[in-house]
Amino acid sequence: MTDTDTDTDTDTAGPVGTAALADLTDRAAALDAGDPLAAVRDRFVLDDATVYLDGNSLGALSTGVLPRLADVVAREWGELRIRSWEESGWWTAPERIGDRIAPLVGAAPGQVVVGDSTSVNVFKALVAAVRMAPPGRTEILVDAATFPTDGYIASAAARLTGHTVRPVPAAEIGAAAGDLTAAALVNHVDYRTGRLYDMAGTTAALHAAGALAVWDLCHSAGALPVALDADGVDLAVGCTYKYLNGGPGSPAYLYVRRELQPRFDSPLPGWNSHADPFGMAPGYEPAQGAPRGRVGTPEILSLLALDAALDVWDGVTTAGVRAKSLALTDFFLDCTAALLPAGKAGSVTPAAHAERGSQVSLRCAGAGEVMRELIARGVVGDFRQPDLLRFGFTPLYTRYADALRAARVLADVIEGTA
């Protein structure tokens, strides 16, 4: 598999003999032996009985989270109690942890704040973008294949601001922007197919049309390099429970480009984003900088679990993660092409490296039942209706041997259901 391959939705080649399987096994062993990130796997709570390929939905638990939370609960909350807002740094945690995420999304400090859910942050970002757009703009562009919540939120933002929503394929959003476009909400990676979209080009095209760019990073941050500052992105949101391994329901984050922060007008002005939150003034005066993105009291337990989870990134670069991600997904595609029965499954994930995130999605009849059987046999992925098997590859802890085992079990399952 090379980064010049561009075919998608192609049928796999069919089963092979012992020699080909032995070659794949040797390749997996050699790749694992030479993996610069191999030791990072030890930073996670994992076992060899399960191949976990659902990190694009919920990342694995890191070993540092439990002792950190035990200390937070027993000492910071149990002993210090309210003193921990200052003495344990609870009050500044949203910006402090935001600055830890910032390098993973290509942002300088002071532009990322952590808190609330992805949905809430999408709403804040999109309404604020529309309010900052030039006058006379009446439409919001949204990725036509977006995750449903993004579409729901875009419709709600449009109703609130008197705009209309126009769905456009993500790859065409830049070209579709015009004089009526206030802002566009775009997914960096498609959650169904794993397709990676051109952030720099789309953002530049939106700016050329006078519109603002809001990006959803849920399926890219932590899996590949993101360059928010360099690409001129206006606002961005992302979750932390996928490739950032923050835990179920861990708080999301909001990026507001520094130049736009004085104009960021949140539709959810809460006491935590007030310039003087303890002044308890009846009128709202927004804080300066990233804290404008705050709303209510921070989710301290989940925030500090995320803080501990981010320790796994010590000494790890997003470039190194990207290199392994591409190598892993290349190898998995090679394995499925060699091992799966011909005509029974086909990849809908782009083969071209420039267009691929960190997952492989296969179109397969009876995908729901196939995935249930895979999970029963110790290979955990997920499926999306009606016929997509999704396999998320988290480079921090996924091994090449895991990719091979997943393909072998998948071949057995498909042959058994044929």
Residues designated as active site: 147, 216, 241-242, 390
Distance, CA of 335 to CA of 327 (rounded, Å): 12
- DSSP-derived secondary structure for 289-336: SGGGG--SS--HHHHHHHHHHGGGGTT--HHHHHHHHHHHHHHHHHHH
**The two three-digit tokens of residue 33, written as one number:** 């032996």
Residue 132's contacts (CB-CB under 8 Å, 6 or more residues apart) are 212, 234, 260, 263, 264, 265
Per DSSP, the residues of 200-249 read: HHHHHHHHHTT-EEEEE-TTTBTTB---TTTTT-SEEEE-SSSTT---TT
Q: Is 364 left (phi over 0), alpha (psi -120 to 50) or beta?
A: beta
Q: CA of 38: how far to CAs of 142, 322, 329, in Å?
A: 39, 14, 16
94 touches 273 (CB < 8 A): no
Query: 350 and 195 in contact (C-beta within 8 Å)?
Result: yes
